[in-house]
Amino acid sequence: MELPNWSKEVIASYESGTAGCFVLHGNVNDRLLLGYGRQKRKLGSLSEFVQETLVPQFEVVLSYDLGFGLRIERGGEKFREWPSLEDTPEMPHDPLEAVRFITHYLQYCRNLQIMGRMAPRVAVIVKQAHLVCPAIPNLLNYDLSSMASLLRGWAADARLQEYGQTAFLISENLNGLHPLVAESSRVSSIEVPLPNAGQIVDLLDFLKVRCPKPLEAYENQIRAVAEKLLGASTTAVEQLLLRAQHDGESLSEGRLSELKKQLVERENKGLIDFVEPDRSLENVVGLDGVKQWLRQDIALWNQGELEALPMGYLFCGPVGTGKTYLAECLAGEAGVPVVTMRNFRDKWVGSTEANLEKIFALLHALGRCIVFVDEADQALGKRESGSGDSGVSSRVYSMMAKEMSNTRNRGKIVWVLASSRPDLIEVDLKRPGRIDVKIPLFPSLNAKEGFDLIQALCKRRGIVLEDGDFEELAAYVPELLTPGAAETLAVKAYRIKMTQQFSDSESLIACLKEYRPPVALETLRFQMQIAADEATDASLIPEELGLHE
């Protein structure tokens, strides 16, 4: 079993003298495989991984968390040689007192070395550090400021490694940790990601002894199963297999996809919707030029020509023009999942930023995916925050901008923004390098387009309209008909057919006679003009609009 890359970074940073204090953030509540020999392997916490894998030769290991207080994990006899313990009846539980206590012990060990005496190597692990030293914007909280100052001091000592000392602050997210600590130049912030395909293969190989039934159909295809489970945590995969083994269930490919969706959404607690689309661009009515463009990009993606692949798309156009549907069809055509960002904003300090960190960690783990952001003009934040959000909007903007322009994501994460008011999206967020292709979507521009749209959507509900019916229906087809409005007409026509026993064409005519546009035509025309102005290429604008100039 190979060490995770993040742990290799910890080792290299410590041995090179670059850093001695580490903030481990991200997937820190997950379980990891410990040990190298098959007989010794087991699943354990991140704290156990640090103790057994990163600091196995440190004589004294101390840990602290709010629940259990300060504990001696290793080297109790060595630790009790500290003379100051005689004046300490019990180990401190209060956060500030515990951090002071540890700081004094670290200084004692350093003094021993300065005097030329033998001193134990000491590792300190602070669990749930975002709860111990949280990012609370209150300058008058002197206890919290004192604790942040002490923790920062651990890292500030450039000779930490020379003294044989190290510290690990384990935090669910970086933004939840006090900025004095998180932003210190001497603290090495290292993200613990969700398991990659290789690590899931190792996990499945370990678990199949206990859970043979779920994997019996994949004897020589464990890698394929691992690829299917990307985005799920080790704990979630373990629970999945244990339950399937208990139920005597052999996991089919379809069942794996369904369970993965449940696992990912459950672990991200309503922050995202995870969809593996079952439709493709063939399901999109019309938009031939747009579909051709998108298919060319997908072909480049599949060929590995990543330098020709856009970092992201902007689908813009009036409400109801099928922006969300097109994104799902694009993902289905490419054979990748869609992650839709939902309610990641939160009223608690630091929670919004923490939610974004969690979402980004998922995206990095999924391999290839499309990230869909609906109502992007509202969701992506603003460069300048309003007076009432304590700067949250600008921090969201900054985090999104950084992630969207990360070139390491090219060919892995494709951003798709949707908006009926793209003019309200910050210019920097829709510039090339973040959003390379802007595709305008328009309602039907003539009666024939409108009829074709209605015909296709009615057919899905068993209402058959022949091409020859166009002449009879042309006078009733609404102006600037959107796919959303046409879908509503198809549903209503089906209802009339079922309840009033009309023929197919009579059902539709009855609907069209009573039709009232859901959005004012003036509003549609205004949004069409904005969409045309945003278009990346003039070929994407229908000539009927006369907006090419």
Spell out a b/e string for 171-210, using b for 16 or more CB atoms within 10 Å of the CB, else e. Answer: bbbbbbbbebbbebebbbbbbbbbbebebbbbbbbbbbee
Residue 390's pLDDT is: 62
Q: Which helix (H) or strand (E) holds 258?
A: helix 253-267
pLDDT value at position 312?
93
Please answer whether residues 410 and 401 qualify as being in contact, where contact means their C-beta atoms are separated by less than 8 angstroms: no
Beta carbons within 8 Å of 470's beta carbon, 6+ residues apart: 447, 448, 451
Q: Which two tokens stand for residue 341?
A: 């960002």
Q: Which residue has 């209802």 as its token pair?
A: 495
Q: Determine whether 161 is exposed, middle or buried from the number of CB atoms within 10 Å of its CB (0-12, 13-18, 19+).
A: middle
Please count the other Cβ atoms lying within 10 Å of the Cβ belonging to residue 303.
Answer: 10
Angle at Cα 69 formed by Cα 66 and Cα 72, nearest 5°? 135
Tell me whether strands 32-34 and 42-44 are parallel, antiparallel or unpaired: antiparallel
Cα 134 to Cα 174: distance, rounded to the nearest angstrom: 10
| CA pair distance 355, 334, nearest whole angstrom | 27
Q: What is the pLDDT of residues 34-57, one digit of tens each?
A: 875 555 578 999 999 999 999 999
Among 30, 93, 52, 34, CA closest to 235: 30
For 542, the token pair is 């229908």
Q: How far is Cα 496 from Cα 511, in angstroms, rounded to an integer?
A: 8
Helix axes 483-500, 504-513, angle to 10 degrees: 120
Provide CB contacts within 8 A for 439, sequence distance 6+: 290, 293, 313, 314, 315, 316, 535, 536, 540
**pLDDT tier at 500, thresholds 50, 70, 90:** confident
Higher pLDDT, 473 or 141: 473
Residue 531: pLDDT over 90? yes
Residue-wise pLDDT for 177-232, tens only, equals 998 898 888 899 999 999 999 999 999 989 988 888 988 878 778 888 888 888 88
Among 190-194, 382-386, 481-485, 525-529, the range scoring the smallest mean pLDDT is 382-386
Q: Which amino acid is at 38?
A: R
pLDDT at residue 137, as a whole number: 61
**Beta pairing, strands 187-192 & 21-26:** parallel
At 185, phi and psi to the nearest 5?
-70, -20
Quote the tokens at residue 539: 């070929």
Q: Is residue 432 within 8 Å of 389, Cβ to Cβ?
A: no
The three-state secondary structure class of 164 is coil
Cβ–Cβ < 8 Å for 130, 151: no
* Environment class of 292 (CB within 10 Å of its CB; exposed 0-12, middle 13-18, buried 19+): exposed
How many other CB atoms are found less than 10 A from the CB of residue 506? 14
pLDDT tens-place string over residues 221-249: 888 888 888 888 999 899 889 998 998 98
Q: How far is CA 245 from the centre of its chain?
A: 29
Mean pLDDT, all residues of the chain: 87
If 0-12 CB within 10 Å is exposed, 13-18 middle and 19+ buried, where does residue 384 land? exposed
- Phi and psi at 348, nearest 5°, equal -80, 145
Residue that is written with structure tokens 């300058």 in the block: 139
Rounded CA gap, 389 and 351, in Å?
13
% of the chain at pLDDT higher than 90? 44
Q: Summarize the confidence of residues 111-137 as an average pLDDT.
A: 90
Judge whether 518 and 318 are in contact, CB under 8 Å: no
User: Model pTM greater than 0.75?
Assistant: yes
Longest dimension (CA), the chain: 101
DSSP structural state of residue 239: H
Residue 121: closest CA among 77, 161, 154, 91: 161
3-state secondary structure of 392: helix
Give the contacts of 489 (CB within 8 A, at least 6 positions apart): 454, 457, 508, 511, 512, 515
